[in-house]
């Protein structure tokens, strides 16, 4: 499996992706908002884009569909419940479906509601597994739930699906928000040594060669995985003095999401 992470350098800080089969050169474009960069990258690598996948229906992920289809004839895939939200959908996807690219690439579809209720992630069961996670999971953060989402659904996606993936899973998010997300981590958990060290490192990074996290690292630096951190819970009680004595993980997650919305 060949992966190109494409930095759009736009105001939304989007990443687009191409996943290609090394044998056939067939490629899948994920959320190709910047269709020109995606097409140029495919041409440079000698790849043919035959499929497009939208992780969800928001315009900063679907905005390149029409131009991409017009220039490649690629088939458009997305969550099966997004058929009325994404024009020209050729194939609706559900949990457990497999997206095949060429002869060698197979990507499992995960139904991951939260950011929206019709959101999918793609998981690659390779030697170094990979998760193409759209706006469900960011480096050191989680998707918001402003536009058609549900924070309780997002919590269940994290706990029931994401935490159970292999720790070696590489994380490929839909946006580059790592610096601000790490600052939120340290606002909530000032003694998080991993987050302190990583923030110093990524401040110097070029988004064209972005840092690629792993699930193991996310569990160390991402507040939305660290729901039992004593420091985090103590700071949460300072922000919300009326929290019950017995604080369950879902409540911690929801209060973190509430704080991040305003942070």
Of 35, 58, 79, 119, the catalytic one is: 58
Of 35, 61, 79, 119, the catalytic one is: 61
Distance CA 121, CA 94 (A): 10
60 in a labelled binding site: yes
Which sign does the torsion angle of CA 256, 259, 261, 263 carry?
A: negative
58 in a labelled binding site: yes
- Active-site residue, 35 included: no
- Active-site residue, 60 included: yes
- Active-site residue, 58 included: yes
Taking the chain, what is the end-to-end CA distance rounded to the nearest angstrom? 38
**Token pair of 243 as six digits:** 């929290």
Cα three-residue angle 147-39-1, rounded to 5 degrees: 85
Sheet strands (E) in the chain: 2-7, 15-20, 26-30, 48-53, 75-79, 91-93, 98-101, 105-111, 120-124, 130-134, 137-138, 141-142, 170-173, 213-214
Of 31, 34, 111, 135, the catalytic one is: 135
Of 35, 79, 115, 119, the catalytic one is: 115
The set of residues, in sequence order, having a beta carbon less than 8 Å from that of 218 and lying 6+ positions away, is 137, 139, 140, 171, 225
Distance CA 237, CA 6 (A): 40
125 in a labelled binding site: no
Q: DSSP character for 78?
A: E
Counted residue by residue, the chain has a size of 263
Of 35, 79, 119, 175, the catalytic one is: 175
61 in a labelled binding site: yes
- Active-site residue, 147 included: no
156 in a labelled binding site: no
Of 35, 56, 79, 119, the catalytic one is: 56
79 in a labelled binding site: no
- Active-site residue, 119 included: no
175 in a labelled binding site: yes
**Token pair of 27 as six digits:** 């490629």
Of 60, 97, 150, 156, the catalytic one is: 60
Catalytic site positions:
56, 58, 60-61, 115, 135, 175
Q: Which residues are annotated as a binding site for Zn(2+)?
A: 56, 58, 60-61, 115, 135, 175
Q: Which residues are annotated as a binding site?
A: 56, 58, 60-61, 115, 135, 175
């Amino acid at each position: 499996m060949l992966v190109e992470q494409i930095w759009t350098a736009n105001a939304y800080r989007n990443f687009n992706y191409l996943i290609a089969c090394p044998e056939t050169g067939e490629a899948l474009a994920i959320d190709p908002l910047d269709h020109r960069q995606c097409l140029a990258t495919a041409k440079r690598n000698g790849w043919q884009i035959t499929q497009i996948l939208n992780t969800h229906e928001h315009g900063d992920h679907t905005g390149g569909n029409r131009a991409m289809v017009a220039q490649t004839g690629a088939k458009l895939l997305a969550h099966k419940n997004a058929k009325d939200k994404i024009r020209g959908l050729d194939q609706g996807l559900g949990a457990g479906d497999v997206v095949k690219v060429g002869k060698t690439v197979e990507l499992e579809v995960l139904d991951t509601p939260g950011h929206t209720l019709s959101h999918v992630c793609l998981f690659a069961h390779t030697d170094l597994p990979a998760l193409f996670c759209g706006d469900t999971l960011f480096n050191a953060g989680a998707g918001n739930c402003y536009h058609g989402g549900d924070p309780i659904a997002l919590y269940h996606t994290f706990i029931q699906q994401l935490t159970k993936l292999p720790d070696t899973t590489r994380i490929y998010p839909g946006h580059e928000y790592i610096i601000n997300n790490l600052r939120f981590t340290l606002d909530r958990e000032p003694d998080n040594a991993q987050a302190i060290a990583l923030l110093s490192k990524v401040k110097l990074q070029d988004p064209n060669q972005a840092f690629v996290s792993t699930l193991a690292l996310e569990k160390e630096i991402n507040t939305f995985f660290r729901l039992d951190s004593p420091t985090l819970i103590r700071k949460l009680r300072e922000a919300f003095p009326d929290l019950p004595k017995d604080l369950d993980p879902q409540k911690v997650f929801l209060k973190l999401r509430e704080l991040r919305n305003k942070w």
